[in-house]
Structure 1
Amino acid sequence: MPTPPPADLVLTGGTVLTFDPDDREAGALAVADGSVIGVGDVGHLVGPDTRVVDLHGRTVLPGINDSHLHAAWLGALWPDTLLGGGGMGGEQAGESAGPLVADAEARRAAILRAGEVVSRLGITSYTEPGLGPGEDGGRTGCFSAAVLDEYTALAAAGRLNARVTVLRLFGELDGPSSLADFERGLATPAPEADPRWLNVTGVKIFADGIPPMRSAWTHRCYHDGTSGHLLVDGAQDTEREANLRRMIDLAHRAGAQIGVHATGDRSIETVVSAMADAIAAHGPAGRHYLIHGDLVSADVLARLPGLGIGLNTQPGIAAATGPWLAAALGDDALREAWPLREAFAHGVPVCLSSDAPVIEPDWRRWVAAAAERIGATPGPELMRRLLRAYTVNPAVQDGAESWKGSIEVGKVADLCVLEANPLELAPADLPHVGVAMTVVGGRTVFEQS
């Protein structure tokens, strides 16, 4: 075996939670040329130019991956969030004040500001779930194809503080889309970039809206007697469903990953059925997943692992909007909504995320919220499962588990250093634990002074 080079960075004197397949723990790790070169005994890797950081008992995790975060929008709004004032939309979302980002300079500044925000939280990867021509005339300016152009330029210049996965959007955000626009957009090439920094993996489709706005497509009736409908174009339910199925089939055959915003039980059933049909007809492709999945049923959850379909959900939004869902559909619907415990029990590939700036991107709070929703006895196994849903599982969603998501020799050195070991804490205590250091590709992008 060749002798490893001296390390650029060594972290020692603490706990390293690798989240590798064996869940190994160690007391130190070494980094060179942006990758992990040693875990455990790394003294022999210290050279004259190695920076050695004494952790003083702190804990290293794989870098956090917020797998559903609208970073340009976050950067334009921060420190405001949509639900920060207890409501939705309004001037904070840029509805009445014109576009939040109106030109290239503003778009770039918003992305860079979001990079600073997430770095302070230990986030080293995130997914921008919906950028493209469908929002070129959007009210905020934060989801247009021009935003993707700025990401491409920043990635080429080495100015991104986190690795970015993108889903393209060929309809409106939270709004309608047409089969013709989708087919036209799918045929256009994605921008070229280093996929370890900017990777356009597929497409986002809005199947429906959300229950509090009575726009999720459900089997239940809202209190006003309606049951919502699909957002895909069509004169009636059957035509809209046929067009949604066609979109999913087209994207699947193109080899694109498909992330579908679906919150109502009826829309979720339709999406999963369409994905299953596409897989049966054309073979597996992509890492398709449901986004939100508020009212996903037990029957659908049981199908997802066999189909390789994931669930990307936001426990913080569940906590914030649960009363609104109950007001729209009743307490029974709320009791069955966001069934995290059942999803984990079925072996569904679950990713936890924030959907910032709907809420803030502080993953520590949302891990705690997920634990509360599950209602299981706190302990290290529960915490491992929830932390994996913010590290290992999102790397799988990104199709990048071979090179990120855990701390292993040969993988990129994306690291989050916490002031305490989360496995020794109750989930409710995690939001009070500070982030001491964030490392992306061996580069320190945040360090607590």
Structure 2
Amino acid sequence: MAASRTADLVLTGGTVLTFDAEDREARALAVADGTVVAVDDVDGLIGPDTEVVDLAGRTVLPGINDSHLHGAWLGAMWPHTLFSGGFGGGEEGTAGPLVADAAARRAAILKAGDVAAALGITSYTEPGLGPGEDEGQTGCFTSAVLDEYAALANEGLLRARVTVLRLFGILDGPSSLADFQRGLADDIPSTDPRVLKVNGVKIFADGIPPMRSAWTHHCYTDGTSGHLLVDGEQDEERVANLRRMIDIAHRRGDQIGVHATGDRSIEVVVNAMADAIAEHGPLGRHYLIHGDLVSGEVLRRLPGLGIGLNTQPGIAAATGPWLAAALGDDVLRTAWPLRDAFDLGVPVCLSTDAPVMEPDWRRAIAAAAQWMDVSGPEAMRQLLRAYTVTPAYQDGAESWKGSLAVGKVADLCVLDTNPLTVAPADLPGVGVTTTYLGGKVVFQS
């Protein structure tokens, strides 16, 4: 598979987990002009100017893609997270927005890039930037943040590839059909789509079960069952407006990511997506965000519709007791059915939702394995693909990233131990030694 050229970089003497269609494992990898030019057959590509890296037994895998990570918010808060007591902002007593001006926005995004690089993350999705949050409390989700991302991308300063969903309502709050339609008409910044791409839109269908704001067929302990966050006087009007949003965005070819956690809201969302697909064709790779109470009936529909599930096992592990307190142990036993989703062939992406949780994908995979009660190399491979291959598919970028094959970008995460040889619970102890973005080092321990 070698190309007839000299490589800029050759990594050899270790294990290369390609996650390609055959799930091949190799011993070496060659890179030229930021792309993979050979796997295994690298000797003829080494010239006098080739940097040859002896892996010394380390393992290379595709760069990690955290498909739901709030970069600007993470950069503004880190090392705090919501679950570590850093709600809203960084230091205790901080007043006003976390990022109040262009300099603060830039600093937050750049810091998020540093945090991501140190974890082997080479791509992430910023799930919700736009005018709905222009007056928001934190300043981390505004249109100006998207503009700053674009400026950094055009200056060559981003340290990860970023996918963006636009947001026309309030984060974790209400939205209106009128604002949604108005926002869709806004211009999108012009950038290299392999560096920064606005893929579509995010909609908040409901809240979350522990706050009794997810819309569910079950009753909470206080007798309520939640409702949709989309505007409307009654359920019927709210459902109609949500369906209209989904239909409009789908016809435009926008990807649609819907925050939906209650079983009732998830059913409405999937029905609306299915109807849009049936009427207009499969125009976007839509997905459910979180999907806490997704039912088995709905899960079985998702593969045929091409609808994905983007979920955060760390949040499931942390908030399970809160969900049980709100809805009971019986509901908890069927919540976050990750194992069923994988078994059914649903396109599953694992993510962290940082800075809600820390942005460490290794801990998320360990939490997923524990939640699913799985172990062994095949389970680890499946979970790693949910952080590499499937997120690239979610991004619409599987042709050029997400696995290691000739012609794909050389986004690489180098680990000190082969993750297929360790128990999931021990994965957080596996160190990231080097991160390459397009064949260039962006982190080295």
How high is the TM-score relative to the length of structure 1? 0.97
In the superposition, relative to structure 1, how do residues 242 and 94 fare at CA in structure 2: closer, same or farther (>3 Å)?
A: farther
Q: How does 1:319-358 map to 2 (within 5 A)?
A: 319-358=317-356
- Root-mean-square deviation (CA, aligned residues, Å) is 1.4
The offset of 1:145, in angstroms, is 0.2
**1:277-356 residue pairs with structure 2 within 5 A?**
277-356=275-354
Paired residues for 1:38-437 under 5 Å: 38-85=38-85, 89=87, 92=90, 97-376=95-374, 378-437=375-434
Answer with 70-79 or 418-427: which moved more: 418-427
1:443 aligned residue: 440
- Give the CA deviation at 1:186: 1.1
Aligned residues: 445
Query: Shift in Å at residue 44 of structure 1?
Result: 1.1
User: Residue deviations 1:296-325, cap 9 Å, x none?
Assistant: 000000000000000000000001111111
Runs of 4+ in 1 over 4 A off after TM superposition: 90-96
Q: Which amino acid is 1:224 matched to?
A: D
| Offset at residue 95 of structure 1 (A) | 9.6
C-alpha distance in 2 between matches for 1:251 and 1:316: 30
Per-residue CA distance 1:316-356 (angstroms, 9 max, x = gap)? 00011111111111111111110000001111000000000
Q: Can you list the C-alpha shifts for 1:398-442, whole angstroms capped at 9, x where unaligned?
A: 000000000000000000000000111111111000001000011
Give a deviation string over 1:174-221, Cα, whole Å, max 9, x none. Answer: 000000000111122311110000000000000000011110000001
Match for residue 29 of structure 2? 29
The alpha-carbon deviation at position 97 of structure 1 amounts to 1.5
The Cα shift of 1:283 comes to 0.8
Letter in 2 for 1:383: M
Q: Tell me the percent identity.
A: 77
CA contact (8 A) 2:169 2:179 kept: yes
- Determine the C-alpha separation between the residues in 2 that align with 1:91 and 1:417: 32
Any conservation in 2 of the 1:94–1:139 contact (CA below 8 Å)? no
Matched AA of 1:420? T
Indicate how the Cα distance of structure 1 residues 164 and 95 shifts in structure 2: closer, same or farther if over 3 A, else same: farther
CA distance in 1, matches of 2:425, 2:140: 33
Per the TM alignment, residue 5 of structure 1 is displaced from its structure 2 partner at its CA by 2.2
C-alpha separation between the residues in 1 aligned to 2:92 and 2:259?
A: 22
- Return closer, same or farther for 1:90/1:407 CA change in 2, 3 Å cut-off: closer
d(CA) in 2 for partners of 1:252, 1:445: 36
- Residue identity in the other structure for 1:144: T
Length-normalised TM-score, structure 2: 0.98
How many Å apart are 1:7 and its aligned residue? 1.1
* 3-state SS in 1 of match to 2:38: strand
Give unmatched runs, 5+ long, in structure 1.
none
Distance of aligned partners of 1:91 and 1:417 in 2 relative to their CA distance in 1, 3 Å threshold = closer
Unaligned runs of 5+ in 2: none
Distance change in 2, residues 1:90/1:37 (3 Å): closer
1:240-287 deviations in whole A, cap 9, x for unaligned? Answer: 000000000000001100000000000000000000000011111110
